[in-house]
Amino acid sequence: MSGLPSFPFDPRIDSPSRRRFIATAAGVAGCSLLSPAFAFAPAAPAHAHDWQWLEGSWDVWHRRLKDRLAGSDEWEEFPGKSSFWQTLGGLGNVDDNIVDIPSGTYRGMSVRAFDPATGTWAIWWLDARAPTRIDPPVRGGFKAEEGTFVGRDTFKGRPIVMRFRWNDVHGARPWWEQAFSPDDGRSWEVNWRNYFTRTSKTPVALPRLGDAPKDFDFLVGRWKVSHRRLRERLVGSDQWDEFGGTLANWPVLGGKGNVGDNVMEFPKGTVRGVGLRAFDEASGEWSSWWLDNRDPSNIAAPVRGRFGSDGIGTFIGDDTLNGRAVKTRVTWSRITPTSARWEQSSSGDGGATWESNWISDFTRLA
């Protein structure tokens, strides 16, 4: 649905595309309750409470236009569920959704992040029926009881402007509305409304699907992380920095996706990031994305891959480094119930040779 609102890093040498630490930011097990203890650090003061009203779990009533941008006035109604978690110390968040449309239930998730540079929130949507892509974002913010977010997309190959509005956000039954404009915002067709009824103030993981893969079950929970990072990549450097961090990880999309909230104590200051992962049944591969609080308006291209019979997970993607095309490889290894290792490497020759530039060792806290 074009609908529900929907890593490592030296500011000098690492582009925001180091969302590659994505790999540390996900997990998928079947825990049923994720408490506020998953937040490791205090929230930032400005805008960190913008979405606090949505935290927790909800029953959702949907009313959707059957045919959009076709002059239709036929609507269908159906139920759903949603669970919402804060990330990035309050300057980001994720919600996981079940949508019981008449043609068949599906899962989807929203990802949000606040950009202090523009003073706006970006909202992305990942539909589990198309798990290899994240929809273009809408951007905006709140005024009093209403939030408005606008962005460009396509619908059935047609360019549109898309608008989300949140209403009565501090009321007993907040509601969300989606509208499309085919004429660059001169006219709007409202095509979807959702009405939210709270079921829990604490977010509860939605039910796991029976066919969900177990590849990343090992990562769900809370972790202490010891990082060792090469200061400069692909220049023959042998200078490494060592620093600590934490990871909180939980399942989404019925176990076919996972999210991780990361805190990394870089030598030059704390960096936060959110990792997103989704499984594609057609290819048998996972896609992993990274959202960095130093460039919170962008989610970059993912790494993709799977676990082999040796128990090692390998994920590769294309990236750039100082304007140069490179490849990034992420591996998971040494996995036990209480520990794991994540390693990132880069290649400047199309994958013929690889330079290891980041190693993270995980020790379970809970």
Q: Quickly list DSSP for 98-110.
A: EEEETTEEEEEEE
| HSE-CB of 147 using CA atoms within 13 angstroms | 24
Euclidean distance between CA atoms 302 and 344, whole angstroms: 13
**pLDDT of 91 above 90:** yes
Model pLDDT, residue 40: 38
pLDDT in the model for residue 44: 45
Distance CA 44, CA 56 (A): 20
Query: What is the pLDDT at residue 45?
Result: 54
CB-CB contact of 242 with 264 (8 Å): no
Looking at residue 46, what is its pLDDT? Answer: 81
CA nearest to 24, candidates 274, 335, 210? 274
% of the chain with per-residue pLDDT over 70: 88
CA–CA separation, 283 and 155 (whole Å): 25
- Over residues 262-319, the pLDDT tens digits come to 999 999 999 999 999 999 999 999 999 999 999 999 998 899 999 999 999 999 999 9
- CA dist., res. 55 & res. 61, Å (int): 17
pTM value is 0.88
pLDDT in tens, 121-175: 999 999 999 999 999 999 999 998 899 999 999 999 999 999 999 999 999 999 9
Look at residue 145 in the predicted model and tell me its pLDDT.
Answer: 87
27 has pLDDT over 60: no
Could you report the per-residue pLDDT of 28-82, keeping only the tens digit for each?
333 333 333 333 344 345 899 999 999 999 999 999 999 999 999 999 999 999 9
| Pairing mode of beta strands 355-364, 221-230 | antiparallel
